[in-house]
Chains A and B, each alone.
Chain A
């Protein structure tokens, strides 16, 4: 590693004025913002600036001369230079074309290219803006109108199409950042998160649901009310339905891309009365055929 004196090209006996002079001379040549096209300028400048930071501080310089610290502690933290922003292609207000405006007036291919690029920058399309939106499961099936409040306080109405899936991105044309000149605005891209619904599960276009039924509904059958994303419907439970019996409600699922709807599958779950019922107990005690039935028949355990 070079000593800071070598980096600045001064003698160890140099006065602080000489050190400043040497530093300024080098830094003017090496400052990354004064050398926008030189990628190595940043490293070189850092070295010179680090050496100057050490030697311009009388206390640090003394400790270095006494061997208490070495030059490695003199690194400047990473800095973002103006040159990293200056050529960004977004038509910022600082860029000046007065260095080559005369070339643009000429009548040749170069002038034409320059004019076109100038125009392209003047008529840039606005940027796409990204947003996130959470909706209820039911809204993802039926579709909905949602209002999004933007960071600047404006609002955006988002039409949720029926059948949307979790993570889908909606593009609202022209609702992004404004463009320049004739560039036109960008789009708003809205990533939609579908919040889970404890009742429903979705599998492609189909929806499944677990429906508790009473013992008497299971044994005798009957009409029960079943929730679907588009509202409750009445469903016939056949006599002798069991836990696990799955019934299909045709067309009550999510909309299909090619028209029509998927189905809702209703999986039944027989639930005994909440508190023990003496009448039921008495019946089951005397129900000999019930005791003869072994649902675990054929199993090894």
Chain B
């Protein structure tokens, strides 16, 4: 979806979205037709909204949480690859 569609379905304001992209909390795909957002960005935006509005996390905290969370998911991906690699070699 393009930027306008993303703003509609995420409920973010333009300024908020631009700040989040600047902070690299969201990394839309850059295409010749402009920025392209996927369902992954929607879900990630919702996570940031949850953290800010419901858990009272401030912007500094969001940075730290996302950084740790991205490492956790990197580890989980590597773990999944290892797991399937082990299955392939043993089976």
Contacts and interface: CB of A to CB of B under 8 A. Distances in A.
Interface residues of A, number: 38
A121 B74 CA distance: 12
A95 B74 contact: yes
Contacts of B54: 23-24, 27
Contacts of B78: 97, 100, 114, 117-118
Given A24-B54, A27-B54, A80 B43 contact: yes
A98 B74 contact: yes
Contacts of B69: 33-34, 86
B52 interface: no
A37 B33 CA distance: 37
Interface string B20-56: 0000000100000100000110111011001000111
Interface string A70-111: 000000000111111111110011111111100000000010
Contacts of B27: 93-94
A23 B50 CA distance: 13
A80 B54 CA distance: 17
B47 A81 contact: yes
A34 to B, nearest CB: 8
A87 B73 contact: yes
Size band of the B side of the interface? 20 to 34
Contacts of A89: 77, 80
A98 B71 contact: yes
A93 to B, nearest CB: 4
Looking at A83, A88, A110, A120, the one whose CB has the most chain B CB atoms below 10 A away is: A83
B12 to A, nearest CB: 15
Contact of B74 (A28, A84, A97, A120): A97
A79 B56 CA distance: 20
A233 to B, nearest CB: 51
Contacts of A81: 43, 46-47
Contact of A96 (B40, B67, B85): B67
A239 to B, nearest CB: 69
A81 B69 CA distance: 13
B81 interface: yes
Interface of B: 27, 33, 39-40, 42-44, 46-47, 50, 54-56, 66-67, 69-78, 80-82, 85-86
20 contacts: A24-B55, A24-B56, A27-B54, A28-B55, A36-B73, A36-B76, A79-B46, A80-B42, A82-B43, A85-B43, A94-B44, A94-B66, A96-B67, A96-B71, A99-B74, A100-B74, A100-B75, A113-B85, A117-B82, A152-B33
Given A94-B70, A97-B74, A97-B78, 11 more contacts: A33-B50, A36-B76, A81-B43, A83-B73, A86-B73, A89-B80, A93-B27, A95-B73, A110-B82, A117-B85, A120-B81
